[in-house]
Amino acid sequence: MMLPEHEIVISEEQIRRRIPQLAKLIAADIGDSNPLIVVILKGAFIFASDLVRHFDFPYEIDFISTSSYGNATKSSGIVKILKDLDEPIKNRTLLFIEDIVDTGLTLHYLTEILKIRRPKRIEIATFLSKPSRRKFHPEVKYVGFEIDDRFVVGYGLDYQQQYRGLPYVIAIDEIATKK
């Protein structure tokens, strides 16, 4: 797919400056708990890999994958786990890493379902947030950037699986189907 005409919403420079700030806040908060970093695939992989390279404390990483937009689960409001965690989480501090919190459904569901396994604590870090779209309200403590209700791609975020590798974030409302 060709790169569309685009407006840069978050630049490389903004990202470069923000990541170490977030890492520092996270370190001060949960750095002494050997947290399990739970990366929500696929979109969060770039944010997570940049973030953890600024972590100066012990941690472990695991990956979880949920059903995403573009199938029936969106309208039904049910999120399905496609790939579960490999590690047990009982009594552990979890840090979820997400690419974008939109309606909040994914993280609301994931945190509720994983609470059954009795982790000690759950925190959430997201690269982007669209507060105006929220329908569910998971507690998101770490937010890279708040954005307006635009459809964005890059830095892990996709449109039809494309554009994840862009080093900045662009808005492509004009080609993406409005949700």
Q: Could you say which of 7, 17, 21, 69 contacts ligand IMP (CB under 6 A)?
A: 69
Residue 37 makes contact with ligand IMP by CB under 6 A: no
d(CA 98, CA 95): 10
The rounded distance, in Å, linking the Cα atoms of 179 and 151 is 9
134-153 footprint of ligand IMP as x/- string (CB under 6 A) = -----------------xxx
Judged by beta carbon, residue 53 or residue 179, the one nearer ligand IMP is 179
Q: Candidates 9, 39, 100, 110: give the one binding ligand IMP (CB under 6 A).
A: 100
Question: What is the rounded distance in angstroms from the CA atom of residue 72 to the CA atom of residue 83?
Answer: 18
Does residue number 102 form part of the binding site for ligand IMP (CB under 6 A)? yes
From the candidates 102, 148, 149, 158, which is the catalytic residue?
102
One-letter identity of residue 26: I
Catalytic status, residue 62: no
Are residues 69 and 12 in contact, defined by beta-carbon separation less than 8 angstroms? Answer: no
Shortest spacing between CB 106 and ligand IMP, in angstroms? 3
The answer to whether 89 contacts ligand IMP (rule: CB under 6 A) is no
The three-state secondary structure class of 34 is: coil
Note whether 106 binds ligand IMP by CB under 6 A. Answer: yes
Q: Which amino acid is at 125?
A: A
Of 38, 39, 48, 101, the one binding ligand IMP by CB under 6 A: 101
Binding-site residue total for ligand IMP (CB under 6 A)? Answer: 16
- Judged by CB under 6 A, which of 26, 63, 99, 140 binds ligand IMP? 99
Catalytic residues: 102
Which residues make up the interface to ligand IMP (CB under 6 A)? 43, 68-69, 98-106, 151-153, 157
